[in-house]
Amino acid sequence: MKNNRIIISVLIIPVILACGFLGSTVPTPVSPKSYIEGIWVPSDSTLSYMQQLGYTFSSHSIEFKPNGTLVMVNIPAKWIFPQKQNTLNFYSGNGTWTLSNQPVTNMGYIQPLVNTSNPSENNLTIRFGTILDDLYFYPDNKPTDVNRIRFQKCFPSLHFTDQSLVPLIKALNESKRDTFGFSPLTSKDRIVIDGTIGNAEIWLHAYNDFSSHDISFKSIKNNYIWVFEQENFRGPDRWVASDAASEQESITVQYQTENINGGPVNGLMINYTGRNPSLTKLSQNWRNVSDASSTLEEWRRWRASEAPSSQSLCP
């Protein structure tokens, strides 16, 4: 893996986002520099494409820092030096980046020009085209197999170690959720909160590459208690429904201490949804998570063999 200093020049036009109530015509400009600043990771489609090519995954990102410095971490070397790299090696390096004032030709797109310099390589230009939160990566003289290079920007998210979550973590630890077979929440989960901690009721949503949790808490005597949890596991079978929606088989585990969604109260519910008739039949007799453990373990191995999600690469 190479580690060299790189210099980047970015060509960009201002991004305009509409804000306010419906019908407002007053736009709010977003600073081009602040738009680029931050961490960008390969998109899901790019990670899937890297898997097809045989790459081994770890951390992969491009960070544009506010002070004008730049860090690339484990970016395929053939994307940076396409004329020289014919292997599955990665490139990591530190450098600088600036905004260029060259004109933009594609209306509605931001087109950074990235110039890399390496003592052992010729200078080259990498072209980006950006719309919304996707960054498209087009090296000059790109190899014929490089055609799906896209990055997504990382945005701040909560994690299980965040101090603001202490009241909810306490409620989880005091609940009996472990005895019902729910997966433990870990520092790798990405967490979203509906509501404000201190309210009488609050929801916590946790996501990782294998399952997602929807958890409800209620405040009693200034302490939160766990009242509802649903965990959803996704399996390998995917299909397109008649309404063109993308569907995927799943196993859902649910328990609630009071009526939240019409399901059984103080009783575990575990269901399979999908096209596998043998699992449909088996699930009719599932009474706890251990009854589905062999299927879940099979799905877990499948997911571990797949490319990671782009969000799991974000800090």
What residues pair up with 69 in beta bridges, in sequence order? 96
Instruction: Tell me which of 56 and 150 has the higher pLDDT.
Output: 56
Answer yes or no: do 124 and 146 share one domain: yes
Three-class secondary structure of residue 206 per DSSP: strand
pLDDT at 121 exceeding the cut of 90: no
pLDDT tens digit sequence for 79-106: 777 666 678 889 887 777 766 555 444 3
**What is the chain's length?**
315
First-last CA distance in the chain:
22
pLDDT at 145 exceeding the cut of 60: no
Answer yes or no: do 149 and 270 share one domain: no
Answer yes or no: do 65 and 122 share one domain: yes
Domain boundary among 153, 178, 210: 153
Residue 107: domain span = 2-153
Answer yes or no: do 172 and 297 share one domain: yes
Which residues in the chain belong to E strands, given as ranges? 2-3, 6-11, 15-18, 27-30, 38-42, 61-64, 69-76, 90-100, 113-116, 124-131, 134-139, 150-153, 190-194, 201-207, 211-220, 223-240, 246-256, 269-273
Would you say residue 158 lies in a domain?
no
Domain boundary among 101, 130, 153: 153
| Beta carbons within 8 Å of 279's beta carbon, 6+ residues apart | 249, 272, 295
Domain boundary among 124, 153, 182: 153
> Percent of the chain, pLDDT > 90?
50
Would you say residue 146 lies in a domain?
yes
Report whether 230 contacts 252 (CB < 8 A): yes
Cα(78)–Cα(179) distance, rounded to whole angstroms? 49
The count of domains in the chain is 2
pLDDT at 37 exceeding the cut of 80: yes
Q: What is the pLDDT of residue 71?
A: 83
Answer yes or no: do 203 and 248 share one domain: yes
Report whether 286 contacts 233 (CB < 8 A): no
Answer yes or no: do 180 and 265 share one domain: yes
